[in-house]
Structure 1
Amino acid sequence: MITVTRLNGRKMSINALFIETVEATPDTIISLTTGNKFIVLETVEDVVSLIRQYLSQIGLVGASALRHKEEEAEE
């Protein structure tokens, strides 16, 4: 889960695995695979950084990088 701030200042946690897109319009809008959309105070870059940190914490980023490295070695 990542924690972001809604426009009213309230914090909320979102399951980063359900995030489909993050866009600036100029407000930052997070769209989920469920169809829900949230406008948050954080920038797109901040949200992407939070997602990367979360994926790294649960081991998805490292596993992906390792698999990519192994595939390159096989070529």
Structure 2
Amino acid sequence: MKPRAVLELVVAVVAAVGAVLSWLAASTTIEVAPVLDGEPATTAVGYSAPLLVLSLVLAGTAGVLVVLAIARLRR
């Protein structure tokens, strides 16, 4: 195996793990006040835009690195 291809695969795995972790950390549960008096409070999910963007960038990077590593191994 070529060392650079192995390094690209390792970095791709690390980027994929980072993408999953940032995706999971991006959501938070928020308690929403009732609209009318006497109604129960409800919950909503809020998302952190920077963490979602980080997740998408890491996922894209992982995908590109996997393609490059496979192409390098096939040569």
Q: Structure 1-normalised TM-score? A: 0.29
Greater percentage in helix? 2
- Please say which structure displays the higher CA radius of gyration: 2
Greater percentage in strand? 1
Q: Structure 2-normalised TM-score? A: 0.29
